[in-house]
Amino acid sequence: MRLGELAERLVVRLEGDPGRALEGVGTLRGAGPAQLAFLANPRYRKDLESSRAGAVLLREGTACPSGFSGARLWADDPYLAFARASALLHPPPVVQPGIDPSAVLAPDAQVDPSAEIGPLVYVGRGATIGPGVQVGSGCHVGDGVEIGMGTRLHPRVVVYAGCRIGQGCVLHSGAVIGADGFGLAYSGSGWERIPQVGRVIIGDNVDVGANTTIDRGAIDDTIIEDGVKLDNQIQIGHNCVIGAHTAVAGCVGIAGSTRIGVGCRIGGASMISGHLQIADDTEIAGGTAVTRSIREAGVYASVSPFMPFAQWRRNAAQLRHLDELAKRVRALEQAAGIVHHASSDPPPESE
């Protein structure tokens, strides 16, 4: 792609030869003359001085080092512009319409002629595969499943019966959509399985990472709204609702019947208990254990070593009053005339 065309499609300001051809993207250190790089963090400014990239995306108002000889593309958000440029320079594989001879389709399955069905795929009774869908080798598409236009299933994705996937989604290998939720009733002598009769409904433009599992609802549906981005190895329990444009990093566990708001950001390895409400635009740091509903947007974090549950519960109860206790201690110290002087020495290192 020519630089001039790229700048026009990104709606950014170009300083350089519009006829220069670019073939891909790269880092400031590794990019060559036919690649585009970006500078969003000032810490990497030194890498730009010696970069061989053919062009670089910079934030408007940033001074470009004189040592860089490539073209400049000026953007309000260079990282976002780079993401869009990368998609333009590295488009997904073109759909190859047709059904592989080794695929098995139920007689009443409906597959659009423009869809691609790979080797050893199974498509169940009453399933509907929309226009431009790619179903990779070894996928299982259950009875009554609906897959919307332009969605891509990488090899070995399993979609259980009755689930619905919207348009423009990407499901990576090993993803399992619609397995039974963890619904059990204890009889006194053992566990009895509760039939899970809901579905999983996935909106448009949703990404589901490798080996991520989304359980079907026990009665109502599990719902993943438009634009949600799920990393690898995430577990989403039955009857959860994940609000539009929420991003969830790897190894997060979300227990059943939790409702997560719109535009949330959930860090890796966080654990969210069941039947909770998470407010819109909430950010949860990695490794955080969320055991109560979050009613107000903000940034939340907690990391503590494991301990016996009874001890943890007592400590958590005390911790909730820590700020109040600190204020009381300061008031008592002031009343007693105790003055603390700030130290310039750094805190001791943790053992």
Active site residues: 238
DSSP state of 206: -
- Of 103, 210, 232, the closest CA to residue 157 belongs to 210
Q: 107: which 2 tokens?
A: 């007689």
What is the C-alpha separation between 219 and 67, in angstroms, rounded?
63
User: How many CA within 13 A on the CB side of residue 84?
Assistant: 14
DSSP code of 283?
A: E
As a whole number of Å, the end-to-end CA separation of the chain is 54
Compute the residue count for the chain: 351
Structure letter (DSSP) for residue 270: -
- Count of CB atoms within 10 A of residue 340's CB? 7
Give me Rg for the CA atoms of the chain: 26
Decide: helix, strand or coil at residue 298: coil
**3-state class percentages of the chain: helix first, strand second, coil last, to nearest 5:** 15, 25, 60
Place of tokens 């940034």: 299
Distance CA 231, CA 223 (A): 17
